[in-house]
Structure 1
Amino acid sequence: MENEKKPVSSKFLSLILRHRPEIVGLQLDQQGWAFVEDLISKVQKHGKQLDLEILREIVDSNNKKRFSFNKDATKIRANQGHSVKVDLAYEPKVPPPILYHGTAGRNVSSILNTGILKQIRHHVHLSESLPSAMEVGGRHGKPVVFEVLAGKMFEEGIDFFRSDNGVWLTDEVPVKFLKQID
């Protein structure tokens, strides 16, 4: 009986393209791009099933649109959320007046003391919609959502960026720009 390789999941692709490309021996360029051919080859050598069709399915069906191909689909990258050093080359943008940040209840006291910090990631992730923030916050228990006064932050010179999948990014959110939603 032949061992069948398990197809790559979105979660495994996130691990490789956002946090640990070395697991499969992959090199990301400075903007986080990997050659599709190289990714497929290295993942297959790692014992997982991956081809261009599976990769396209993961990119197209991922509900958070975490991944993007370049124009000719020869390269792929994660849109944000990296813990490895990359420069996604996003240009500063004017944010909406209010954005939202969803988190788990265990993080509330820390956030109320220090604000929202990027921790090991490159940026703090913010949502345009309350339902999206609730979904993010609910991944690790009962969600808690903070309203972020993004317009006021921008007026005070704090940069915002918008990833290819619509997530708003900034370096940190000081306490004075936060309001916990009950």
Structure 2
Amino acid sequence: MARRLALVLRHAPEKFDLEMDINGWIDVKDIVRQFKGSNERRYHWFRPHHIRAISETDPKGRYEVRGNVIRATYAHTVEIELDLPTDNIPDALYYPCSPDEYENLIEVGISPSGRAHVHLSANIRSAAEAGHVHHAIPTLLEVDTARLVAAGETVWHAGITVYLAEFVPGKYLSIVPNDHPEYELARVHWAEEE
């Protein structure tokens, strides 16, 4: 159910004949109606409170419910206008990348790849976990968001530990040392999982 909801709210509402407003909101009842009417009996039980439960229990804060509408807070490939909070942004955020690409990113900056925005993490551990999905041992970059915001760039707080930017110039990036204690903890956790 959560994957289908992500498809609707982040990537392809039109596949389900759903209308998304400019800020990414879709009526919860419309989603329920479309899922139940999709000729798949497996969703006969589905109700609006199930969508609220998915939103409220998601550990990353991927969804936001306001009244009778829901939206994804980040990871959009559809064009929307963000109306997320831009205050209380941490002075530093983090970005995971391939060990082969960090030098290029420091030179040219970070652009969104396949998404509408660059995804930044609130802490080293979260960035390491996000990067580990794609790379055995990701390289972590620190973003000097204090300078980035002071230069007039906007950073949005999207999920519990997720922040968004349209672009991060290379001059605001530096490498997180491999021996940083938080990064070492993440690597110990990965080794325990194997």
Structure 2 runs not aligned, ≥5 long: 179-194
TM-score relative to the length of structure 2: 0.79
- More off after superposition, 20-29 vs 48-57: 48-57
Q: State the secondary structure of the residue aligned to 1:173.
A: coil
Q: Identity of paired residues, percent?
A: 28
1:62 CA displacement:
1.5
Determine the structure 1 residue equivalent to 2:154.
159
Unaligned stretches of 5+ in structure 1? Answer: 1-7
Structure 1 stretch 120-129 or stretch 47-56: which is displaced more?
Answer: 47-56
Task: Answer yes or no: is the 8 Å Cα contact 1:68–1:76 preserved in 2.
Answer: yes
The equivalent of 1:149 in structure 2 is 144
- Does residue 1:77 correspond to 2:71, yes or no? yes
Which residue is 1:102 aligned to? 96
> Is the Cα–Cα contact under 8 Å of residues 123 and 161 in structure 2 kept in the other structure?
no
| Structure 2 residue 35 is the aligned partner of structure 1 residue 39 | no
For residue 120 of structure 1, what is the aligned residue in structure 2?
A: 114
CA distance in 2, matches of 1:94, 1:171: 18
Counterpart CA distance in 1 for 2:110 and 2:81 is 21
Q: Kindly tell me: are residues 75 and 102 of structure 1, through their superposed partners in 2, closer, same or farther at Cα, counting changes over 3 Å?
A: same
Query: Which residue does 1:137 correspond to in 2?
Result: 131
Counterpart contact for 1:66–1:80, Cα < 8 Å: yes
Q: Which runs of 4+ in 1 moved over 6 A?
A: none
Aligned-partner residue type, residue 170 of structure 2: V
Q: Root-mean-square deviation (CA), in Å?
A: 2.0
Structure 1 distance, partners of 2:10, 2:20, is: 10
Indicate the larger mover: 25-34 or 140-149: 140-149
Deviation at 1:138, TM superposition (A): 1.1
Query: Does structure 1 residue 87 correspond to structure 2 residue 81?
Result: yes
How far apart are 1:59 and its partner, in Å?
1.2
Query: Helix, strand or coil for the counterpart of 2:113?
Result: coil
Of 163, 170, 177, the match for 1:175: 170
Give the aligned length.
172
